[in-house]
Each structure stands twice: as C-alpha cells, then as structure tokens.
Structure 1
Amino acid sequence: MIPCPLARCRGRLASVTQQPPDRCRCCGCRTGCTTCPVCFWTEDGRSEENAARVIDGPNGDLTLLDARLNFSIYGASHPRYQSLVRPPRADERQVPGFRRTSRQA
C-alpha cells in the first residue's frame, strides 16, 4: 500500500490501494484513502444496509447517514473536521448517481 500524503490524521497515514480508487461511502469521491481527505470519513466497512446504525469503530457515534448530511451542510463528515478537509481533485469527483443524503424509511 502507498501512503496517501493528503490524508494525514493525527500522525496516521491513510493508505491507497494499487487498484482504481474506491469511492468514499460518505461523500462519494474516488479518493481511495482509508480516511477521506475530502470529507474526513474513515472507512469502517459499513454497508448501505447499516448506514443508519452507530457501530463501534473509527467514526465514534456518527452514523454514515448523519455524516452524509453533515457533508452536504458543512463540507465535512462532522463540523469539527471542516479545517481538515480539501476540495476533490478532478480525478476524484463524485461517482455519477451517488446519493449522499438519502434516508430510506
């Protein structure tokens, strides 16, 4: 794995795979980093089926749906991360059709 120099998080480096970058589950950008430098969501293996549940992991008590809503309002998965994020590069733009604030009833 290659260190992602733009995703420093308190001394840790997020990693990027050699495969085409995966999209961030929070913001939809193809950063491929463990901690997304665009929204600062940390990949925790959560799926769409449990996006509304709080799970034990790196994102604390933040659900994926709440992080998506925060991103649409604040530009970060949580307001406290606003100073840590950056705009997506042209090659990282959102995946077409990605819906980040959808809540299913």
Structure 2
Amino acid sequence: MKRQEAIRLIVNRDIKRLTVDQWLEELDYMMLPFPPKELGHNELPPDLLSEFKNEKILQKLSSMLCEEHHKADLTQEYEAAANEYLIEELRSMNINVDNIEGSPLLLEACPCCGYRTLDERDCCDICMVCWWEDYSQDNENADVITGGPNHGLSLTRARINYLKHGIANPLREDLIKIKHPCNRYVKGRSFELSEDGLTVYESQAGWSSSWDN
C-alpha cells in the first residue's frame, strides 16, 4: 500500500474518534484570525452550531466546515510516521498490510530522546515523544540548566529521565498521558544508559555525562 493511502485511512479513523469538545477546539483554532477572542458555543456560525446540541453531534461530521481543515492537519502530522507504525495502525483497523511504499518525511532528531520529531532545531519545537522543548542545547552544553521551558532540567538529566521513564520530566503526568509513542517516528540518534542508571552515552558521537554534573 502507498503511504498516501495508508495515511488517508488512518486519518479518517482518527476523525471519527474526535469528541464534540475536540471539534469545538478545532473550530476555535480555525477562527482565531477572524474574531480575536475565544469562541463560545453560541458564537459559532449557525450552520455549524446546528451540529451541536446538549454536547451531542446531530449530523454527520463530514458536513462540517472544519473536517477538511483537520484532515489536512492530521495528514501533515503523519508524514513523519515510520512505515512500521503505519502498518501497525492499519492492522489494528483489521486492514492487513505487509509493506508500505514510500518513505517518511525525515524531521530533525530530538536532542533528548533521539527520535525525528522536530521541524527545525533550536526553534523551541516540542518533541511529542519526550516533551523536551528544543532550546539551543546539545552535547556541548548538555549539563547546563538553562531554566525556562524545560522546568529546571539539564539536557543530561532529561535524557536519563527519558531512558528510565519515557519522558523528559516524569513529574509531568499530564504529558505522559498524551505523548506520542516512540515507534511512531524514525530514530535519528541513539542514547544509552549505564547499568547504575547514572550516566548517559551517545556512543556514535563519543559523548557521555552523568546526571549530577
């Protein structure tokens, strides 16, 4: 199966899973350039307002103006998905596929978890796998605690946290629930943890450091 078709099928499934609140959030996002204020239910256009009553959808979602917009967003998100991940998702939908034709979009590798999740480096992109915000840190200054978006964590500590807990900051239980699975993306860099769990290595780069530096 070609990647475009695989992504189309998965996006259509995701669209059907959206709740009313998620659709309203999408509508708010779409209309931000128009009225510069947060939209409430009663401020929706009449043709869209008719879709909602008592928090239940009355009409088929395909009639909504925002569906194509949201499909485009989801399609873009899946462009970087690994072929193996697409196959797993299709099989969970009872669509038997053994091979995906085409290659994923290769994004920049996150300096914390190593997966290719970032549109650009050093532009405050947030990795959806580990929730590290990429803010001009890498091996050369990994032990520095810069403050700001990463909540007082050095990159070294965040890497160790990810290898142990699957997220840069394990205290953020709210983010653990919504982070993307790592197998969704292609791996661009590899980090390893020492047996005592105190030192992290990037062997290919000849780098290592301990969390208490």
Listed one character per residue, the Cα deviations across residues 8-46 of structure 1 (whole Å, up to 9, x for unaligned) are xxxxxxxx9xx8411000000001151000000001011
User: Unaligned regions of 5+ residues in structure 1, if any?
Assistant: 1-15
Cα deviation, residue 104, structure 1: 3.6
Residue 73 of structure 1 corresponds to which residue in structure 2? 164
Residue 22 of structure 1 corresponds to which residue in structure 2? 108
Change (3 A) 1:37 1:74: same
| Mean Cα deviation higher: 67-76 or 54-63 | 54-63
Letter in 2 for 1:82: I
TM-score by length of 2: 0.36
Cα deviation, residue 69, structure 1: 0.6
**Paired-residue identity, %:** 29
Does structure 2 retain, via aligned residues, the 8 Å contact 1:40–1:84?
A: no
Cα deviation, residue 88, structure 1: 2.7
Supply the distance in 1 between the matched residues of 2:138 and 2:128 (Cα, whole angstroms). 20
TM-score by length of 1: 0.69
Residue 5 of structure 1 corresponds to which residue in structure 2? none
Listed one character per residue, the Cα deviations across residues 60-97 of structure 1 (whole Å, up to 9, x for unaligned) are 2100011011101110001123223121354x22125x
Supply the distance in 2 between the matched residues of 1:56 and 1:73 (Cα, whole angstroms). 22
Of residues 183, 186, 193 in structure 2, which corresponds to 1:93? 186
| Mean Cα deviation higher: 67-76 or 56-65 | 56-65
Letter in 2 for 1:56: G
Supply the distance in 1 between the matched residues of 2:109 and 2:136 (Cα, whole angstroms). 12
User: Unaligned regions of 5+ residues in structure 2, if any?
Assistant: 1-76, 78-104, 120-124, 193-199, 202-207
Letter in 2 for 1:29: Y
- Whichever structure has more helix as a proportion of its residues is 2
Q: Does residue 55 in structure 1 map to residue 150 in structure 2?
A: no
Structure scoring higher RCO (CA < 8 A, sep ≥ 6) equals 1
Letter in 1 for 2:160: L
2:156 partner SS:
helix
Letter in 2 for 1:40: W
Of residues 117, 129, 132 in structure 2, which corresponds to 1:31? 117
Supply the distance in 1 between the matched residues of 2:117 and 2:150 (Cα, whole angstroms). 18
| Count of matched residue pairs | 87
Supply the distance in 2 between the matched residues of 1:95 and 1:26 (Cα, whole angstroms). 11
1:69 partner SS:
helix
Which structure has the larger Rg?
2
